[in-house]
Amino acid sequence: MSAYNQYGMAPFNGKSDFSIWKQKIKCILIQQKCFKAVGETYLISDTEEKRAEMNENACSVIYLNLSDSVIRKVGILESAKILWNKLNELYTETSLPNRIFLL
């Protein structure tokens, strides 16, 4: 089994550049039409069924692009928005390029 997904990305392992990984995942979520699940709001016209589908798809995309160790750290969450926020909380400040930039 390849360590890379269909987009040529390795799973985020907590050590690589989180901001780059996050941007690539954002693009995949947009392409899969489920970025609203991690964003601020859904459209009023989105039905509960559509929202649930977007949430499931977004969770799948995110979890399939995380290493096992990162999944253990964030836990199994059923809300894409909570998962996205948890990853941001854990890794935005601590990824290496951000630490170097802060110096």
Structural domain total, the chain:
1
pLDDT of residue 13: 95
Task: Please check whether residue 7 lies inside any domain of the structure.
Answer: no
Task: Please check whether residue 90 lies inside any domain of the structure.
Answer: yes
Task: Please check whether residue 6 lies inside any domain of the structure.
Answer: no
Task: Please check whether residue 3 lies inside any domain of the structure.
Answer: no
pLDDT of residue 38: 93
Instruction: Write out pLDDT tens, residues 39-83.
Output: 877 777 778 899 899 999 999 999 999 999 999 999 999 999 999
Task: Please check whether residue 4 lies inside any domain of the structure.
Answer: no
Task: Please check whether residue 10 lies inside any domain of the structure.
Answer: no
Give the whole-angstrom CA distance, residue 92 versus residue 78.
Answer: 21
Give the whole-angstrom CA distance, residue 95 versus residue 102.
Answer: 11
Task: Please check whether residue 66 lies inside any domain of the structure.
Answer: yes
Q: Provide the residue range defining the domain that includes 98.
A: 18-102
Give the whole-angstrom CA distance, residue 15 versus residue 68.
Answer: 13
Task: Please check whether residue 57 lies inside any domain of the structure.
Answer: yes
Q: What is the pTM of this model?
A: 0.82
